[in-house]
Structure 1
Amino acid sequence: MKKIVFILLIGSSFISQSCINDNDDAIMVAPSDGAVVNPNVGGATQPNQVWIDLGTNTEAVTTRTDWDFAFYTGNSFKVVLNSSIMMAAGKIPNATHIDLVTDASVAALKDEIQVANFNPANETYIDDVKGNFPSGYTAIDEIKANDSENAVYLVNMGKKIFTGNVPSGSVTTGGDSRGWMKVQVVRAGASYKIKYAELNATDHKELIITKNTSYNYNFVSLGKNSEVTIQPEKKKWDLCFTVFTNLITGAGSYIYADFVLTNNVGGVGAYEVKVTSGSGVEAYNNFKASDVDPSKFVYNDQRAIGGNWRNPVGTNGLEVYGDRFYIIKDAEGYYFKLRFTRLTSTSGERGRPQFEYKPL
């Protein structure tokens, strides 16, 4: 009887150890089986920002003009401008009190604090295009604990969304000017306080922003004098389809349509696979988990996909590059392969992209 019990114990131990080893080597299985996705960018004026979560195959849609400033929720105190509407900001020299700033006193600055005016110097008025925050540069300096060390800024509020007609195949990323504001951000304990007003106002409004660490940022709309919900929670989105202010070497800031950002602040990584021979579709279909190269993931630049997936001036007109696809690692550790299949609608309207993806 003792021999039988001993054999059973040994067998049970062997089975248990085998299961542990199998689990150690297991590949995480994503909750989504993949899909063909048509992000609701909104057409040729591209009015929307679309936040995609690959793991759950869900999207959240916001209008580009729904927000003005994003306040970082980590340990640092950083403020980010809404680059999708061409915002820019610059320090007002010698300004110590926001209420004393007037339109006349900043008139000369207005010509400088611009986006897409082909002046290489204008890149100092936008945020780090890599989006590598909190370490990346921001047009508004990191907010100091001492109020007097925080400058008053002249803020170019960017462009409204264009409301006119756009020819087929074209895109219009901005409409009329949204005007100018004077802004100062200070700390309020562990929170932020933003002071703001129109240029000739002799008093200002204030808003306290308490960091919500479930999100990468707290977002604020000055027009609504309140916080607004824009991005999903930090672990619940991977990609954003948006208009984007990027840089052109030697020409400064420039506005791009059909841009795709990764949630690098939330821990998402991505890299491009370029097919040098054979069919791009076949290479995508055959790509498997064992082909993933962890050393290639880009975590410090939100433009890992960017505009590299499409060619707006191709010999065949608007086209998606067929020789490349992308590998995504989301914040929860799941891997996906993704390829773009369309830049326009079937009738040729810009701002109607499509992509397919599958978990690895």
Structure 2
Amino acid sequence: MNKISTISLMLLSFIIAISGCKEEEQIAPINLNFNSSSLNINEENQEAQISLVFSRATTEAGSISLSIESPNLVYGADNDFYTEPAAEGNQMILNYESGQSELTFTVKAGSGLNINNDENIEFLINSTEAFQIGQNASIEVAFSENFIAQSGTIKMNAGGPDFTQQAFVDLSKLQSNSLDKSIWDLGFYNGSGHHVRLNSTAQLMARPLDKTDLAAVTAEDTVGFANEMQIGFTATPPAAAWIDEPNGDLSQTAIAPIASNEEENKVYIIKRTGENEAWKKVKITQDGDGYTIAYANIGDTNFETAQISKSDSHNFVHFDLDNGIVDYAPEKENWDLMYGTYTEKFPFMGSSIPYSFNDFIIINRHNTSAALVMLEGNTTYEGFNLQQAENLEFKSEINSIGSSWRQGGGPGSSPAVFDDRFFVIQDSQGNYYKIRFISLTDENNERGLTTFEYKILK
């Protein structure tokens, strides 16, 4: 055999070997799962959104077929339940495009449903050649007032990178609702005592004057305030006194506890964010078990008043200085975590300044607590159980999670989820949940869209 033939055979063998390697290194099929094993529809929440999650983005368009098993419930808007998109003959087709990482559809209670019967339906992924079906191949929807979610994955939406919203999460119902964070200014406490908090998610500040007569306050009383009432690295240490204590201590709010003696209650200057937001002057007094607020623009001689009664259903009555009482935040029994922005006291040059954080998590002050668990020794997220949780040190300060679930990033690095820890939440019903953050951003690398998984501990 001549030299050229030998070289040719060697080259052919190399090409065959490379081709064999490529066959062995084929990309794994896309895994397809429901985002949870169970969901709930009840009297307050008449619909539920269900997500199908791909392990990575799809590479082409197609469709997925689902089966619906409903032993005791009848499909139809005028019957017990229906879906969007619509199903036919207990089958639903969901179309997807190339590049999608998630598919969603909605289940809604029909007008003929009796919610007190505690019924269930189930959605199942039909066999498909395009995907590999994962462990969550089905999801049960409970039509019940007694449902408690066992596990799930939740994407919290704070309005994307602009962080215009706050997401409220109810772990026991596997729900996350996003609300406009700027529709309120002051929160009037419904518990014992008379306390008023600021909208710290929207960077409000309150500065007291040495005056108790609202009519006597003019623009001259605020000369120089614009340079002093700052949040961020332009702030100076005195500004820290004009925000609420971030841990939620109501005895340390920027507006002092409201005294029963009207002459002890000072006038406060309220600074709101935004170039076109008028600063306000306010005076708050006790009104029996409730409150009376008088307020106006700084330069106005006339002012408005409003009476605010306490409510047992919510932590606070929320008030907007332009529109009065507003409906904001779920009832205190119906949420555990709030995600979005928050004003903290940031250590700076030996003191502290007010600083607004994105990707910040607050826990509900109503009988809710949280504990940090580090992945040390033999501790794992998967193996962590209720007995271990009962030995943790739980904290009830509302900022006890805060930003400790993520690293902030810096020059040359982006913020990211810490992978060496998880958290345990005890909710107001006494349930223990372990939660682990999966991603800080969405599939487009945008912030304000954070995902975590969780599981009830037994």
Query: Is the TM-score greater than 0.5?
Result: yes
Q: Does 1:268 align with 2:384?
A: no
- One-letter code of the match for 2:318? F
Tell me what 1:259 maps to: 360
Cα distance in structure 2, aligned partners of 1:209 and 1:60: 26
1:35–1:356 CA contact under 8 A, matched in 2 = yes
Instruction: Give deviations 1:31-57, integer Å, cap 9, x for gaps.
Output: 102211111211101111111110111
Instruction: Give deviations 1:36-81, integer Å, cap 9, x for gaps.
Output: 1111211101111111110111223211101100000112100000
Shift of 1:255: 0.7
1:259–1:306 CA contact under 8 A, matched in 2 = yes
Name which of 307, 326, 331 aligns with 1:208.
Answer: 307
Tell me what 2:33 maps to: none
In our comparison, the structure showing a higher alpha carbon Rg is 2
1:87–1:115 CA contact under 8 A, matched in 2 = no
TM (norm. structure 2) is: 0.64
| Long gaps (5+) in structure 2 | 1-145
* Gap change, CA 1:294 and 1:66, over 3 Å in 2: farther
Q: Does 1:235 align with 2:333?
A: yes
SS at match of 1:39: strand
- One-letter code of the match for 1:260? I
Tell me what 1:39 maps to: 156
- One-letter code of the match for 1:227? I
SS at match of 1:254: strand
1:50–1:59 CA contact under 8 A, matched in 2 = yes
Summarize the alignment of residues 285-296 of structure 1 with structure 2, pairs less than 5 Å apart.
285-296=382-393
Moved more, 335-344 or 242-251: 242-251
Name which of 420, 425, 430 aligns with 1:323.
Answer: 420
Name which of 317, 320, 323 aligns with 1:218.
Answer: 317
- Taking only the aligned residue pairs, the percentage that are identical comes to 30
Cα distance in structure 2, aligned partners of 1:102 and 1:316: 48
Tell me what 2:27 maps to: none
SS at match of 1:285: coil
Cα distance in structure 2, aligned partners of 1:247 and 1:30: 39
- One-letter code of the match for 2:371? Y
Tell me what 1:53 maps to: 170
Shift of 1:275: 1.2
- One-letter code of the match for 2:362? L
Q: RMSD between aligned alpha carbons?
A: 1.8
Cα distance in structure 1, aligned partners of 2:387 and 2:333: 25
Shift of 1:30: 7.6
Tell me what 2:253 maps to: 138
1:118–1:251 CA contact under 8 A, matched in 2 = no
Count the aligned residue pairs.
Answer: 307
Structure (1/2) with the larger strand percentage: 2
Tell me what 1:88 maps to: 205
Instruction: Give deviations 1:288-342, integer Å, cap 9, x for gaps.
Output: 111114450001x111111111123166523111111000000110000001001
Name which of 97, 100, 109 aligns with 2:225.
Answer: 109
Cα distance in structure 2, aligned partners of 1:320 and 1:146: 49
- One-letter code of the match for 2:295? Y
Shift of 1:277: 5.3
Cα distance in structure 2, aligned partners of 1:60 and 1:286: 30
Shift of 1:105: 2.4
SS at match of 2:332: coil
2:154–2:176 CA contact under 8 A, matched in 1 = no
Tell me what 2:56 maps to: none
Tell me what 2:142 maps to: none
Q: Does 1:151 align with 2:266?
A: yes
- One-letter code of the match for 1:252? I
Shift of 1:101: 1.3
Cα distance in structure 1, aligned partners of 2:298 and 2:421: 48
Name which of 344, 349, 357 aligns with 1:246.
Answer: 344
Q: Does 1:123 align with 2:240?
A: yes
SS at match of 2:221: helix
Name which of 306, 312, 320 aligns with 2:408.
Answer: 312
SS at match of 1:105: helix
Tell me what 1:338 maps to: 435
SS at match of 1:123: helix
Cα distance in structure 1, aligned partners of 2:450 and 2:186: 27
Tell me what 1:69 maps to: 186
1:30–1:359 CA contact under 8 A, matched in 2 = no
| Long gaps (5+) in structure 1 | 1-28, 161-175
Shift of 1:146: 1.4
1:30–1:334 CA contact under 8 A, matched in 2 = no
TM (norm. structure 1) is: 0.81
Q: Which has the higher contact order (CA 8 A, sep 6+)?
A: 1
- One-letter code of the match for 1:68? D
Name which of 276, 280, 293 aligns with 1:194.
Answer: 293
Cα distance in structure 2, aligned partners of 1:76 and 1:322: 41
Instruction: Give deviations 1:226-258, integer Å, cap 9, x for gaps.
Output: 211212111211000020000112231111000
Cα distance in structure 1, aligned partners of 2:449 and 2:192: 38
Shift of 1:215: 1.1
SS at match of 1:291: helix
Cα distance in structure 1, aligned partners of 2:382 and 2:223: 57
Cα distance in structure 1, aligned partners of 2:407 and 2:278: 33
1:243–1:257 CA contact under 8 A, matched in 2 = yes
